[in-house]
Structure 1
């Protein structure tokens, strides 16, 4: 009976698309961390389908500050069940994430250091990819190329970065003008 429930739950899992760590980092940086939030949502959606529960991935993503430790814990537990050899502390990653996010309140350009908050997602990202690739209960598709949505994010993110960098250059050049007088 339990095996029947598990096989039904696993059959309802949508295909899992996996990207490389380099693509994850690039997409997270180019979108100022928004891609990490999308990944957070997709991870919760995966667990919702895998466990056949009524959790709400969007709510858990929006209020991620309350659910991030739990997500990181679920990921490492799943990966360990698939013989993942590496480990991390969900609580320490969460504390580091909070610290790095708080850097966004520093004046520009120092506030941009908060982009390093994405480093807190690297270990869970790798662990979840490992778990997905080492489970035969669902289809895993490794994306070698960027899809249309990702290309759109790259274009919008590039424009956003150019605008911010241009504004920093303008601000710094105006400060230098005032200093020379």
Structure 2
């Protein structure tokens, strides 16, 4: 007795069952959370992207390690996102190599003297094309939800980030006044 063949809709249903309750956020929220957290949210996004591919492609990887050491794995993540997005019908394109190189250089600007190190926060610009592509591709999965409001973790991150930005601002003002 032969098993019944699986059609495309059943395949999509099976695939979405492995990646249930996938939540995506808007580009504006991504930029805001990255900026307010001094780039820490970017590491979280990279972790979530690798975790998505771990589940989807049944990879033998550790997403947390790839996120923490993203400088070594970001190029391959960009390529994986670009290929997956194209498979899902995404028409925009970006250069993984140029995005990676620009991200790397901008990130290294953190070693500039005060206050010029803040330029390094612009590294988010070079994650946006991959972020948009992954969002598009993930929205093709039936169970994907666009997160309308900030969740509790994000609100805590925003509060901590605001405190840190306030302390940095106070530090700049004090150093300016006493020079």
Is TM-score (shorter-chain normalized) higher than 0.5?
yes
Q: Which residue of 1 aligns with 2:171?
A: 167
SS in 1 for 2:127: helix
Q: Which residue of 1 aligns with 2:124?
A: 118
Q: Structure 1 residue 11: deviation in Å?
A: 2.5
Of 151, 158, 167, the match for 1:154: 158
Q: Structure 1 residue 12: deviation in Å?
A: 2.0
Per-residue displacement from partner, 1:122-179 (whole Å, max 9, x unpaired)? 000000000011234xx1011110110000000000000000011011111111xxxx
Q: Structure 1 residue 15: deviation in Å?
A: 1.8
Stretch deviating more after TM superposition (13-22 or 38-47): 13-22
SS in 2 for 1:87: coil
Of 146, 153, 159, the match for 1:142: 146
Of 50, 74, 78, the match for 1:44: 50
Counterpart-to-counterpart distance in 2, 1:39 and 1:92: 20
What is the CA RMSD across the aligned residues, in angstroms? 1.9
Counterpart-to-counterpart distance in 2, 1:63 and 1:7: 33
Unaligned 5+ runs, structure 1 = 176-181
Of 98, 103, 109, the match for 1:97: 103
SS in 2 for 1:85: coil
Unaligned 5+ runs, structure 2 = none
Q: TM-score, normalised by structure 2?
A: 0.90
Aligned length: 173
